[in-house]
Amino acid sequence: MITLPGLIDTHVHLREPGATHKEDFETGTSAAVAGGYTTVLDMPNNPEPTITPGALQRKINLATKRIYSDVGFHFGATINSSQYFQQIKDKVFGLKVYMNHTTGTLLQEDPKILQIIFEKWPKDKVLMVHAEGETLQKAIDLARKNNNKLHVCHVSLASEIRLIQQAKVQGLSISCEVTAHHLFLTKNDAKRLGVFGMMRPPLENPDVLWKAIADRTIDMIASDHAPHTKEEKLGPNPPNGVPGLETTLPLLLTAAYEGKLTIEDIIRLCHTNPAKIFNIPVQKDTFVEIDPTIRYTLYARRLYTKCKWTPFQGKRVKGKVKRVVLRGQTIFKDGEIIGNPRGKVISPL
Ligand code: NCD
Ligand code: ZN
Ligand code: ZN
Ligand code: ZN
């Protein structure tokens, strides 16, 4: 048996309110726990985005008593939402700025508005960007000018890695995450998977990302758990995004078995660094028991996520979550969620 601390995923889309046909607080946090995560941070790009104190409070109310893992929230950036930054800053973990097209309505492209957003967000709190390729340069320039604590979501390109390495050398406060799908799937998989391998940013060459894990340019692994239904994926306007909460850890354990990283790396990338960067509260008596010897196959029908599909269908993995203990109580054992929802809505330290 291997014992891990409760893992932390700083980038998930639990979809409630507004898209509970894709996921909700119960199914999404069940998936989190089954995947070894005891803390997840939820993104603001709902149909009613988290861009007002009222929308944030509604999420908090909806989540209370229905979550199996702890859940914290991110706030969405718009010109209008910037008036609330001071009011909500202690309740959220980060501000999310969408600088490229993706799911939702939060795209910000106007340089004047972006400048105001970066200027107004508190400098000691994380400002997260969806900024692909060339756009990342803009985000870094804005963060340099305004002294922000920048976090780059789902890096996928060699050019992005280079920009982040440069910024780190120059002493900027910058961190970044990579997803399991960008690490374990290739452009060939994208062809094979069709719409079920479609996400933003698209699949690229994983080799550069593995190198960036090895040289510690990458600070954390996040799932970007972005469930959509099969019907939506097969419909006329397939949305971008794939689920990931229940497949990330088994894939990482398999990579550890194959010598691509160590268990210590997994703890640093999925617990210690996210906790430090996002000021996540410590969970007492909380851990995840792994049986590293169990080989099994990832199957969608065994998943708790409401969307019931995975781009990793049929993949052989080694290493399984046996038990999850949250604040001294077993909440997951041998594939089953145990007891009532014991997760809490959390705010940063
Ligand atoms: C995400 C979603 O569906 O909410 N989709 C995706 O392809 N990654 C949005 C996002 O994280 O960009
Ligand atoms: Zn994104
Ligand atoms: Zn996302
Ligand atoms: Zn810890």
CA of 199 from ligand 2 middle (Å) equals 9
From the CB of 46, is ligand 1 less than 6 Å away? Answer: no
The residue contributing the CA closest to ligand 1 atom 5 is 241
CA of 285 from ligand 2 middle (Å) equals 33
Res 85: pLDDT: 99
Most informative mutation of 14, 96, 224, 245 for ligand 1 (most atoms within 8 A of CB): 224
CB 327 within 8 A of CB 286: yes
User: In this structure, what token pair is assigned to residue 260?
Assistant: 């691509």
Taking only the tens place, the pLDDT of each residue in 73-97 is 999 999 999 999 999 999 999 999 9
13 CA: nearest ligand 1 atom: 4
Domain ranges of the chain: 2-337
User: In this structure, what token pair is assigned to residue 233?
Assistant: 């994926």
Distances (CA, A) of 20 to 17, 24, 69, 182: 6, 5, 18, 26
Res 114: pLDDT: 99
Most informative mutation of 99, 103, 132, 179 for ligand 1 (most atoms within 8 A of CB): 103
CB 31 within 8 A of CB 246: yes
CB 11 within 8 A of CB 289: no
Distances (CA, A) of 209 to 104, 118, 162, 262, 271: 27, 27, 11, 16, 19
Distance CA 105, CA 47 (A): 8
Res 108: pLDDT: 98
Task: Report the DSSP pairing between strands 287-297 and 2-5.
Answer: antiparallel
Burial class (CB in 10 A: 0-12, 13-18, 19+), 347: middle
Considering the four listed CATH numbers 3.20.20.140, 3.30.70.360, 3.40.50.1000, 3.40.190.10, the one that applies to the domain covering 2-337 is 3.20.20.140
Most informative mutation of 10, 12, 42, 45 for ligand 1 (most atoms within 8 A of CB): 45
Alpha helices by DSSP H, 236-281:
248-257, 263-267, 273-278
From the CB of 223, is ligand 1 less than 6 Å away? Answer: no
pTM: 0.98
200 CA: nearest ligand 1 atom: 7
Res 20: pLDDT: 98
From the CB of 102, is ligand 1 less than 6 Å away? Answer: yes
From the CB of 100, is ligand 1 less than 6 Å away? Answer: no
153 CA: nearest ligand 1 atom: 11
The residue contributing the CA closest to ligand 1 atom 6 is 241
Axis crossing angle, helix 134-146 with helix 111-120, rounded to the nearest 10: 40
- pLDDT under 50 in the chain at which residues? none
